[in-house]
Chain A
Amino acid sequence: MAEIAIRTENLTRNFGQIKAVDGLSMEVPGGIIFGFLGPNGSGKTTTINLLLGLLEPTGGKAEVLGFDTRTQADAVRSHSGALLEYPGLYEQMSAEDNLEFYGRVWRMGAAEGKARSKELLTHFGLWERRKESVDKWSRGMKQKLAMARALLHRPSLVFLDEPTAGLDVVAAASLRDDLAGLTTREGVTVFLTTHNMTEAEKLCRLVAVIRKGKLLAVGHPDELRAHTGAPHFEVVGSGFNENVLNMLRARPEVSAVEVQDKRLSVQLRQEMDVAPLVSLMVGAGVQVEEVRKGKASLEEVFLTLMEEER
């Protein structure tokens, strides 16, 4: 496993006047799930195509597993697996045949291919239905089979392009669990594109946010929160009158205060102990039932970044 699985330097791809990827520079360490977040049309899929050497960059360069994507694209693809925008399964063929075909593609021996197929199909709960043609399967099952296909040849790096898109909540959660389990067990690096913040938050050790082809931020979800999302706390209770609100607004550590029914939301300028503020409120006659201290969710971070970029 390379220490750095992916390294891009000023990677750029234009389609006519449109900059699909615009000067992307980043590093993805090996052995982690790396989330690549962005709204639709932000350049996520184009980035994957560039990293797999399927598209030539207009400018800049990318190294994947130590191979140059421009001159050693075959080596990149030989060591990677991919589940792209669509499952890409041969639906008239059975699950077993789909995996057998890709086992042959990856030049796995017949016995090795069969054993690995059994292992993956069993892991994904598809072994009993391996002889059915795939067109009869649910979208969630197809996506699991596509994931098994991507992992079949034990690649060092797997590209997953929005793997849970279009799945129902249960199927998406199940796929996420499988993905987390497999990456831990197999030590594979995962480059995961998604616009599902909860998914990124649950799975990814590092996330990058991209918009209109430009990298807006990269880091651990907590780091992004610290830089972007303001800390805040919420008080549930009663007695939130104008005096209390004005008293809080006057405090230098408070940036904003908002009341909604029995909830008071206080935005802070920095991470701090909120007990003194709560004491002040109690002293001013507030009846406190509950205090919740919260960090900004990754979704809030993402929305803030999108807003800043505009």
Chain B
Amino acid sequence: MIADMLTVMWKERKGLFVSRGSRSRAMLSLLVPLGLVAIWFPFIEGARWVSSPLALVALLIPIMLVATTVPDSFAGERERHTLSTLLASRLSDRAILFGKLAVAVAYGWLVTIIAILLALITVNAAHWQGHVILYSPAVVVADVVLTFLMAILVAGVGILISLRAASVQAAQQLLVMIMLLPPIILAVILTVFRKQVASALSGLSFLEVVLIAMGVLIVADVILLMIDMARFQRARLILG
């Protein structure tokens, strides 16, 4: 199955970067999240950026990137009538599913890592303090692991939406809406119930909060991937 997954990944990668027309589109979709997370926020926040939960803004990158690539990969393949030919080949359902998912997650996650590194360069260049400023261990764990788990979460939800959506555009819109809703609700809760949240979390360090978030995301990811595997089956995808 690994060899077949790699085959699907080869094709997905070609579709994402190599094909003419896709490269410029992909570059354009990178500019906004990279500009915000790698330049704007670190420039404004300075040294605070590397040690505070503010760096979790990087979570927006996998949300934005995976939310555009997964619908294109799943709903798009159906819309362009290439999925039925792929399903008529010897590839297993799981090789197709995980090959596509792997490229979307890897893309969102790698761009996030690059953004986090670029942010460090921005902080040091704009706010030089005579020594190199580095991320705190908690922020590194949060950014590297949480963004990876978040990319899987968005991909998992994106697959479910894409399998039912009428078009790529409809799937992308719904997915972005669904994925941006929890952070917005969280921000509202934190603003309105600031004191209560602070007292509830007072006994916990930032790292402990990150570890709890990791646990929640892992459980959610596993559940979603199991639902994806149950849904992504030839007999359910071929309609006539």
Which A positions have Cβ atoms within 8 angstroms of B? 15, 20, 45-46, 49, 52-56, 73-74, 77-78, 80, 82-93, 97, 101-102, 104-107, 133, 146, 149, 159
A49 near B238 (CB under 8 angstroms)?
A: yes
- With A54-B238, A97-B14, A104-B10 as given contacts, are A92 and B21 in contact (CB-CB < 8 Å)? yes
B235 near A55 (CB under 8 angstroms)?
A: yes
Looking across the interface, which residue of chain A has its beta carbon closest to that of B86?
A: A88
A82 near B85 (CB under 8 angstroms)?
A: yes
Which B positions have Cβ atoms within 8 angstroms of A? 3-4, 7, 10-11, 14-15, 18-22, 80-82, 84-92, 234-235, 238, 240
A85 near B84 (CB under 8 angstroms)?
A: yes
Which of B11, B22, B235 has its CB near the most chain A CB atoms (within 10 A)?
Answer: B11
A86 near B235 (CB under 8 angstroms)?
A: no
B64 CB → nearest A CB, Å: 22
- With A55-B235, A89-B82 as given contacts, are A105 and B91 in contact (CB-CB < 8 Å)? yes
Q: Which residues from chain B contact A89 at a C-beta distance below 8 Å?
A: 82
- With A56-B235, A92-B20 as given contacts, are A84 and B89 in contact (CB-CB < 8 Å)? no
B90 near A105 (CB under 8 angstroms)?
A: yes
Report the number of A-B residue pairs with Cβ-Cβ less than 8 Å. 83
Residue in A82, A87, A107 whose beta carbon sits within 8 Å of that of B3 in the complex: A107
A198 CB → nearest B CB, Å: 26
Bound-state Cα–Cα, A56 to B80, Å: 24
Bound-state Cα–Cα, A84 to B85, Å: 7
Q: Which residues from chain A contact B19 at a C-beta distance below 8 Å?
A: 90, 92-93, 133
Bound-state Cα–Cα, A54 to B233, Å: 9
Chain A contact residues, majority secondary structure: mixed
A54 near B15 (CB under 8 angstroms)?
A: no
Looking across the interface, which residue of chain B has its beta carbon closest to that of A50?
A: B238
B22 near A101 (CB under 8 angstroms)?
A: no
Residue in A55, A73, A88, A106 whose beta carbon sits within 8 Å of that of B85 in the complex: A88
Residue in B10, B234, B235 whose beta carbon sits within 8 Å of that of A101 in the complex: B10
A105 near B7 (CB under 8 angstroms)?
A: yes
Looking across the interface, which residue of chain A has its beta carbon closest to that of B88?
A: A82
Q: Which residues from chain A contact B84 at a C-beta distance below 8 Å?
A: 54, 84-86, 88
Q: Which residues from chain B contact A97 at a C-beta distance below 8 Å?
A: 14, 18
Bound-state Cα–Cα, A45 to B239, Å: 10
Bound-state Cα–Cα, A106 to B89, Å: 8
A102 near B89 (CB under 8 angstroms)?
A: yes
Bound-state Cα–Cα, A239 to B102, Å: 81
Bound-state Cα–Cα, A83 to B81, Å: 12
Residue in B21, B22, B81, B87 whose beta carbon sits within 8 Å of that of A86 in the complex: B81
A163 CB → nearest B CB, Å: 13
A54 near B234 (CB under 8 angstroms)?
A: yes
Q: Which residues from chain A contact B15 at a C-beta distance below 8 Å?
A: 90, 92-93
Which of A53, A90, A107, A133 has its CB near the most chain B CB atoms (within 10 A)?
Answer: A90
Residue in A45, A77, A90 whose beta carbon sits within 8 Å of that of B89 in the complex: A77
**26 A-B pairs, CB-CB below 8 angstroms?**
A49-B240, A52-B88, A53-B234, A55-B235, A74-B90, A77-B89, A78-B90, A82-B88, A84-B85, A86-B81, A86-B85, A87-B81, A87-B85, A88-B84, A88-B85, A90-B11, A90-B14, A90-B82, A92-B20, A92-B22, A97-B14, A101-B7, A105-B4, A106-B90, A146-B85, A159-B88
Bound-state Cα–Cα, A101 to B96, Å: 13
Q: Which residues from chain B contact A133 at a C-beta distance below 8 Å?
A: 19-20
Q: Which residues from chain A contact B234 at a C-beta distance below 8 Å?
A: 53-54, 73
B81 CB → nearest A CB, Å: 4
Looking across the interface, which residue of chain B has its beta carbon closest to that of A81?
A: B88
- With A93-B15, A105-B89, A133-B20 as given contacts, are A88 and B82 in contact (CB-CB < 8 Å)? yes
Looking across the interface, which residue of chain A has its beta carbon closest to that of B3?
A: A107
B235 near A88 (CB under 8 angstroms)?
A: no
B88 near A54 (CB under 8 angstroms)?
A: yes
Q: Which residues from chain B contact A83 at a C-beta distance below 8 Å?
A: 85
Q: Which residues from chain A contact B238 at a C-beta distance below 8 Å?
A: 49, 54-55
Looking across the interface, which residue of chain A has its beta carbon closest to that of B8?
A: A105
Bound-state Cα–Cα, A142 to B52, Å: 55
Q: Which residues from chain A contact B90 at a C-beta distance below 8 Å?
A: 74, 77-78, 105-106
B5 CB → nearest A CB, Å: 11
A40 CB → nearest B CB, Å: 12
